[in-house]
Structure 1
Amino acid sequence: MTQTFAPPLEKPCQFGEWSFDPVDGQLRSKRKAHRLQPRLAKLLSIFVANVHVLLSRETLIEILWQDKTVNEDALSRCVAELRSTLGDDRLSPVYIETVPKKGYRFIHPLNTSATQKMSVGLTILALVLLGSFSLSQFSNQSFNSNELAEGLKSDLISARRLTADSIFEHQPEISNHGDKVAFSVIEDKELTVRVVSVGGELLHEIKEPDYYLYSPTFSPDDQSLLIAAVEQQNCLIFRYRLASMQRETLGECLVPNSSGIFSWSPDGESFSYVAPSRAPDDLSLSDSSSENQEKLEASKNISRAAIWTYHLKTEQRSQLTQPTGLEIFDTRPRYSSDGKTLAFTRGTKSARHLYTIDIGKPNQTNQLTDTHAFIAGFSWLENNRSLLFDSDELGDRKLWLLDVQSKQKQILGARDAQFPSVAKKRSLLAFHEVRYSANIWSVDLTDDSQAPKKIIESTKYDNFPAFSPDGQQIAFTTNRHGNSEVWLYSAATQQQSKLVATPGLNMFMPNWSSDGEQLLVSSRGAEGYRCYQVSVKNGKAQPIKLIKQAHYACLFSEEGDIFAVSKVPDEISQLLKLNTDGTLEILTEEGARRIQITNSGTLIYSIPNKDGLYSVDLAGQNRQTILPGFNHSLDDHWTVQGNYLYYPKIEGQRAIWRYDLTTGKEKIVTTELPSAIGLTMSVNPQQTKLVLSRTDSRQSDIYLSKLNSLLDE
């Protein structure tokens, strides 16, 4: 049966990013121009004249070769060449779809408003010549962020799963041409990198037995891959040429958190990366004053991360950003498509903001977000003014859209999504969907034969356990309803109940008063960090108003004084004391991160990014080093009960140890270890039970989504 179809198109048309003139075979986009050879031009002409029509292979062969005898391989090669020119992919097509054993279908609609757009362009040009307004002004006025957001929401609904195995995939990065995805894989205590096609075929697996491999990033031509190779405290920049898998080392780097650390410039002549920052401008290496030397010493302990640029031809390095505080670090650099702007994240381990710098004026930073949320990853869209980013601002992590110029943001959805990555030469998005579950376990310290017992369980993240003074209740935090809330667990009834939740706040780190009637709870929200005093009886929460500056990690002394850690941007966090008469004292100079109090009235504290645990009395005097070799990476995994310090060791015999603060003696109490993020341990007053939080499950999959809403931009 003869197939019915429309004849080849003879007039110019537009589809996606392409403009096509069938008369001379000119195929153009903003970045490329091709003159198709006659047979390819004719094939595209028949495709665009029959959008969404299935054209049989026999029909296409008859149109293209007429009376000549050719086999179907010739048609397959012709279609493959046209796909390559369009930047299309057979397994995940945007333009040409293969229908097995039947033929081909052109699936992208034509832009029917092309003529109208050309007319608008002429009108704009005339107005420019009259001096009414500039093209850039028109572009700003015509950009509709709301319309773009609605389109992206629809696109995300149709996202398809790329990976679905039991291993944990991390940091997906889609290639610039959108035909493959690279990501880290955590399996069997190894961290390797895989590269797969958008159809799921494994193309490369990169393993380095001596290193953990992070942050795979494609070069603009997709021929090379940058990878951060980490071994203990050392980080090296590896460049792999994918055709030969030849590896070269380009220098040192720093991986301050789970975010990516590389971004290639669009011209491929340089790349930005994360490395330790130089000393701040206000610190002098030659200034011998005690104040300057103390700041310098603190600066060394922090190991702040900054954004640097590496020039491939000259091998020169230059620092682009200067973190604004000794506990602040910069990471996740991302060049805009035109290469004029670099975006990055700046903040701490718990809250991060988006910033940009003009490449021509790197000393001028522009802050884009101001809510105290955590942003793990983001990606530019092709329009050079929109960022797609992930955030836990509303509790659950979702994807958001940000207009860089107006700084307006809109939530898009995709619950549990993070690390969005958009192909620069194709409207395709890759992102990582991850779900964690942490539960609280009880360990019997009097009987080694007893297995740990799971006492607090949910499908979400339960953490920050804290025994009440009588040992009958455990306060903990959970994100079961979005933002973190404070709940109570009863040892007598084994029941859980919500105590307090405040809209817009993530609550964490509960600490009991000595009478068991109050909790001091830290919070993070739009206004920063502050503590609340919560009634255990009715859940009523009141902020600690007498501490004006941002603060967290609050706890009571027996006398009713409140101790806290300051959390002021651009300043070193210090140990604070709020006396019962309302006066405020600063007890430390070298910094503080966590605090606990002993029965004998001694404060145990840690210093950010510095090994060791330290003590001072309640007046801030008699500073001593308690555990000089304590690994600062374990700072969330120690606790104090009575005059004993409980802490983990991961070198040698991995276990929880109990250190007698009076005698200095220590012993192993259990080989069970915590594994959650955040404070993870508490011991009851009788020191017969230890509770710890563990990340019992984590699931991750990588998704792909066609961004059809961008095709007509």
Structure 2
Amino acid sequence: MADVKVELQEVKEESESGTPAVVPTAARTPRRRAAWAAVGALVLVAGVAAWLRLRTESGAVALAPLPLVTDPGFADSPSFSPDGNQVAYSWDGEKQDNRDIYVRLIASGKPLRLTSDPAPDTVPSWSPDGRAIAFIRSRNAIYLVSPLGGGERKVAEGIYPINGNIQSGLSWSPDSKVLAVSEAEAPDQPPSIYTVRIEDGEKRRLTTPPATLGDYHHAISPDGRRLVFARCSRSAGTCGLYLLDLTPDYRAAAAPRLLGMEGGSIADPAWTADGQDIVYMFGPAGVSHYLMTLRAEAGAQPQRLTFAGDNVLSPAISTRGNRLAYAVNLSDVDLRLIEPGKAARSIAPSTRSDANPQFSPDGRRIAFSSDRTGVTEIWVCDQDGANPVQWTHFGDRHSGTPRWSPDGRSIAFDSQTKGGRRVFVMASDSGQSHRLTSDQATEIIPSWSADGKSIYFASDRTGRNEIWKAPSTGGKATQVTRDGGYVAFESLDGHRLYYTKSAGGASPLWVKPVEGGPERKMVESVAARAFVVEEDGVYYLTGVAAAGTSSIQFYRFASGQSELVAGIEDRRLSVGLTVSPDRKRFLYSGSTRVGQNLMLVEGFK
């Protein structure tokens, strides 16, 4: 720890003197020279061995990710120091109980903790002059802290949104005088890109998206002349990567121009050091994330960085040293079954992500989504998890959220198309499917009406997610909610609609009459897509508490109170909850293994 602070102090002094932030060998003590020489020798030996091992037949060297941060818990959002020898990142700590900002030397295993506020500190961004690290606290304030630690300074307050469950970050101007940030004027308003002046917190709007879209993840180019950002639907079902020319004082010089569209979420764009290419995260289904690269010019085609693998996010590129860092999620999400008197166990397990389970009306089968083939598809297995069978085969078109019709003859699900996510209905005997509507709008998370004649779904066609419904045989959609809606289930008598409004994390459960009328908050906190409506009440999963536990609760209509059904010890929950027809078996998706590491790639250009 002491060595980290000493090295960082030397970097700070050199930055303030205007010289490159590289620690000169002559300035080190003999003891530290010897220690670093030993480390250097080991790194050199390892590097030579890796080089020999990874030479391709053509003589080129293959890029090989190496572990950078492997501490228990979740490390995220790496940001390089100007010399590329240190990295700042967000980590939930040894106890995985709070996200704070840390710094570590690339060659050192001991991090330096910079913040300790009880609120979550995320998306650190190291200033180009090396003097400060900016970060967002609680999604509502921007702070600066020295890379050496110490006092913090609040720069601005606002509503800094997430999209696709990923926090939009911060990007510096090359002179370290301005930060770019994605900010919304109100919680239900689409965000735009703003600049924030470090000196006094003055804000200037750079972009104004259409009402049905929002401007999120962004990065200022190394020369300060361009800004790349993601313009996405509110559900992140479809995103476009846009380029905005900037004036010398970081104002918009012209209207943004589209570089390319993606049928899925785009996040965390990062410029290569020469300002020619952009690396970004692409999530075609919101589950598996890849790294993509795109030349910053019209007509360029994105290419996948296959060496990084799956479930990766938060790419960062050093301006010196040819280094790439990113986070890789190691969590294993399984279907988890709870039966009376038994501990939770995994069924139909895989090493990939299995989520969104639902029992068939007769309780003999389970539909769920899984990316065990590399693409998220709809699967069906027996009630005990045996005999899993893939039911959709759309190639690179990711599908999810399967919902059985009341008669068990059809399954509704959402699937990615070139125009965004749409709802489809599939016959359970033939596998034939058709689109629910012909509307050119995002449609996600379907559910059936009690009589099977209608299908509810969420759509952001009005500018925010609301609940809509359409005839199950296909036809015109009609709006159901007016104050927000995301996941909905109709009561068994068809008179009431129960729904949540948040796209990510836990949120309140609301109820309103199907035929219209005021809404009422019923339960304060329900985990994502995790509630089941019965005749006498609602089963639901609570959000994960600070202690890392959750529970299945039953809200009884007669008493207006919730009762504990079963405790859950999974530290992370995914999406979905289903209850067998006899109400004795409960199935949800949770992580049997959790963690997120940071990886480092040397020689990346």
TM-score normalised by L of structure 1:
0.69
CA distance in 2, matches of 1:186, 1:92: 31
Aligned-pair identity (%): 18
CA contact (8 A) 1:565 1:594 kept: yes
Alignment of 1:213-362 (within 5 A): 213-230=121-138, 235-243=140-148, 245-253=150-158, 254-256=160-162, 257-275=165-183, 277-278=184-185, 300-302=186-188, 304-325=190-211, 328-347=213-232, 348-351=234-237, 352-360=239-247, 362=252
Contact 1:378 / 1:388 at 8 angstroms: preserved in 2? yes
> Which position in structure 2 is the counterpart of 1:696?
592
Q: Which runs of 5+ in 2 are unaligned?
A: 1-17, 30-35, 49-55
SS for the counterpart of 1:376 is: strand
Are the equivalent residues in 2 in contact too, given 1:647–1:658 (CA < 8 A)? yes
Distance 1:200 1:238 in 2: 26
Give the one of 376, 385, 391 matched to 2:276: 385
Contact 2:488–2:498, Cα closer than 8 Å, also in 1:
yes
Secondary structure of the 2:69 match is coil
1:646-697 CA-partner distances (Å, limit 9, x unpaired): 2244589963322244664542222227766653201122222211110221
Q: 2:108 aligns with which of 177, 194, 200?
A: 200
| Structure 2 SS opposite 1:162 | strand
Aligned residues: 546
Residue of structure 2 aligned with 1:190, choices 98, 105, 109: 98
* Map of 2:314 onto structure 1: 419
Equivalences for residues 161-172 of structure 1 within 5 A: 161-172=67-78
Amino acid at match of 1:190: N
- 8 Å contact 1:336–1:342 — kept in the other structure? yes
Q: Distance in 1 between matches of 2:440 and 2:108?
A: 54
Equivalent of residue 527 in structure 2, options 604, 614, 634: 634
Matches within 5 A, 1:57-68: none
Change (3 A) 1:264 1:185: same
Tell me the distance in 2 between the aligned counterparts of 1:624 and 1:686: 33
Check conservation: 1:655, 1:668, Cα contact below 8 A. Answer: yes
Indicate yes or no: 2:515 matched with 1:607.
no
Match of 2:516 in 1: 622
Q: 2-side partners of 1:315 and 1:301: how far apart? A: 21
- Give secondary structure in 1 for the equivalent of 2:478: strand
State the secondary structure of the residue aligned to 2:26: helix
Contact 1:323 1:346 (8 Å CA) reproduced? yes
- Counterparts of 1:512 and 1:521, CA distance in 2: 9
Task: Tell me by how many angstroms 1:557 deviates.
Answer: 3.0
Q: What CA deviation, in whole Å up to 9, does each residue of 1:152-193 have, x standing for no partner?
A: x96662332223333321111112211111111123212122
Amino acid at match of 1:77: A
- 2:408 aligns to what SS in structure 1? coil
CA apart distance, 1:624: 4.2
Asked whether the 8 Å contact 1:440–1:465 carries over to 2, the reply is yes
Question: Partner of 1:430 in structure 2?
Answer: 325
Q: CA deviation at 1:482?
A: 1.5
How far 1:492 moved relative to its partner? 6.0
Q: Is the 8 A contact 1:91 1:199 kept in 2?
A: no
Q: After superposition, what is the alpha-carbon deviation per residue over 1:503-538, rounded to whole angstroms, capped at 9, x for unaligned?
A: 222111111112212111111232212122222224
> What does 1:431-446 align with in structure 2 at a 5 Å threshold?
431-444=326-339
Task: Give the aligned partner of residue 255 of structure 2.
Answer: 364
- Cα drift, residue 593 of structure 1: 1.4
Q: Which has the higher helix share?
A: 1
Partner of 2:9: none
SS in structure 2 at match of 1:190: coil
Amino acid at match of 1:455: I
For 2:33, the equivalent position in structure 1 comes to: none
- 3-state DSSP class of the match of 2:305? strand
Identify unmatched segments of 5+ residues in structure 1: 1-31, 35-74, 81-89, 106-149, 279-299
- Bigger shift: 675-684 or 652-661? 652-661
Task: Give the secondary-structure state (helix, strand or coil) at the position aligned to 1:679.
Answer: strand
Check whether the contact 2:209–2:215 (CA below 8 A) recurs between aligned residues. yes
Please report the TM-score for the alignment, with normalisation by the length of structure 2.
0.80
**Residue 430 of structure 1 aligns to which amino acid in structure 2?**
A
Secondary structure of the residue aligned to 2:455 is: strand
Q: Is the 8 A contact 1:504 1:526 kept in 2?
A: no
Quote the Cα distance in structure 1 between the aligned partners of 2:511 and 2:70. 46
Structure 1 counterpart of 2:8: none
| CA displacement, residues 393-434 of structure 1 (integer Å, 9 cap, x when unaligned) | 498433221112124211221103322111113322122222
Whether the 8 Å contact between 2:218 and 2:269 is mirrored in structure 1 is no
Q: Give 2:487's aligned amino acid.
A: R
- Is 1:502 matched with 2:394? yes
Q: 1 CA distance for matches of 2:418 and 2:27?
A: 57
Matched residue SS, 1:202: coil
1:597: Cα distance to partner?
1.9
Query: Structure 1 residue 400 and structure 2 residue 292: aligned?
Result: yes
Distance 1:159 1:692, change over 3 A: closer
Q: 1:249 deviation in Å?
A: 1.8
662 and 672 in structure 1: CA distance in 2 versus 1, 3 angstrom threshold? same
Residues 516 and 426 (structure 1 numbering): CA distance in 2 closer, same or farther, change over 3 Å?
A: same
Cα distance, 1:101 vs structure 2: 13
**CA shift digits 1:611-641 (9 cap, x unpaired):** 4412232xxx23343435534x734222223
**Matching residue within 333, 357, 364 for 1:465:** 357
State the Cα distance separating 1:325 from its structure 2 match. Answer: 3.0
Alignment CA distance shift 1:486-1:581 (3 Å): closer
CA shift in 2, pair 1:624/1:676, >3 Å: farther
Q: Distance in 2 between matches of 1:225 and 1:437?
A: 32
Question: Could you say what secondary structure the match of 1:450 adopts?
Answer: coil
Match for residue 177 of structure 1? 83
Q: Distance in 2 between matches of 1:454 and 1:220?
A: 47
1:534-570 CA distances to partner (integer Å, 9 max, x unpaired)? 2222433333355564422333335442223353556
Rate the CA distance shift 1:323–1:695 in 2: closer, same or farther, 3 A.
Answer: farther
- CA deviations over 1:88-128 (Å, ceiling 9, x no partner): xx7899xxx869999xx9xxxxxxxxxxxxxxxxxxxxxxx
1:512 matched to 2:404: yes
CA contact (8 A) 2:437 2:470 kept: no
On the 8 A contact 2:359/2:383 being kept in 1, the answer is no
Alpha-carbon spacing, 1:642–1:454, altered in 2? closer, same or farther (3 Å): farther
